[in-house]
Amino acid sequence: MTNPTDINRPFRILAIAGSIRAGSYNRLLLEAARDLAPTGVEIEIVDTAGLPFYDADLEAVGDPAPVGEFKERVRAADALLIATPEYNGCIPGLLGNALDWASRPYGRAPLSGKPVAILGATPSPRGGARAQAVLRQILAATRCAVVPEPELVVRSAHEQFDAVGMLRDELTRDRLRALLANLVDGVAGTDAADRPAA
Ligand SMILES: Cc1cc2nc3c(=O)[nH]c(=O)nc-3n(C[C@H](O)[C@H](O)[C@H](O)COP(=O)(O)O)c2cc1C
């Protein structure tokens, strides 16, 4: 699969994890996505730990360097892939903060119109579905084009990865492949249903 808008360069996905924990299941999901990405699709995982808290006063005197760099990377990406844990029924502050910065300035935000696919993992039996619902709401407010399906909620995350961090379940791997394919197809304006079966 090549970049639908330019066959001479890869389709670039910027991946954001809502956790900076060593061994984060959500980071592992993004690493799995990188391994399962179709040919011609590059997934780069961005580190958002260095972003200061959003502050309109900081913004007014010019984005701090890490913010400017992060926003530029969001802007340059063909699409985003966001993996979120769930904290108290919501997305973590770390992720909310990154999205707040990328939603600015109003009317010219890097997030505006950006195609996005979301997924998430938690050790609980509910897998963080509430956080994903909140994330969809935020991305709608920031005018992103969120891939509607498949929903990828990884439950009991502590049982889903092997000793080297590989995603075990073949069905989950298939859903992740489908999510990435739908993200790329959404940008290309093609319908996944039109794609010949593999
Ligand atoms: C402050 C806090 C609140 C949490 N709230 C929830 C929750 O509401 N639902 C849930 O499924 N897990 C909850 N958890 C557990 C996280 O989902 C779990 O730590 C997860 O592994 C974090 O993602 P990571 O593995 O990518 O770091 C919470 C964890 C923390 C630290």
Q: How would DSSP label each residue in the chain? A: ---TT-TTSPEEEEEEES---TT-HHHHHHHHHHHHPPTTEEEEEEP-TTPPPP-HHHHHT---HHHHHHHHHHHH-SEEEEE---BTTB--HHHHHHHHHHT-STTS-TTTT-EEEEEEE-SSTTTTHHHHHHHHHHHHHTT-EE------EE-SGGGSB-TT--B--HHHHHHHHHHHHHHHHHHHT--GGGSPP-
The CATH number that domain 11-194 falls under is 3.40.50.360
Reported as a pLDDT band with limits 50, 70 and 90, residue 198 is very low
**Taking CB atoms and a 6 Å cutoff, what residues make up the pocket around ligand 1?**
19, 21, 24-26, 85-89, 122-124, 126, 128, 157
This prediction's pTM: 0.94
Q: Kindly report, residue by residue over 164-174, the tens digit of the pLDDT.
A: 999 999 999 99
Q: Kindly report, residue by residue over 37-89, the tens digit of the pLDDT.
A: 999 999 999 999 999 999 999 999 999 999 999 999 999 999 999 999 999 99
Q: Which of 86, 91, 134 to mutate to test the pocket of ligand 1 (most atoms within 8 A of CB)?
A: 86
Q: Report CA(103)–ligand 1 centroid distance (Å).
A: 25
Determine which residue's CA is closest to atom 14 belonging to ligand 1. 87
Q: Report CA(66)–ligand 1 centroid distance (Å).
A: 26
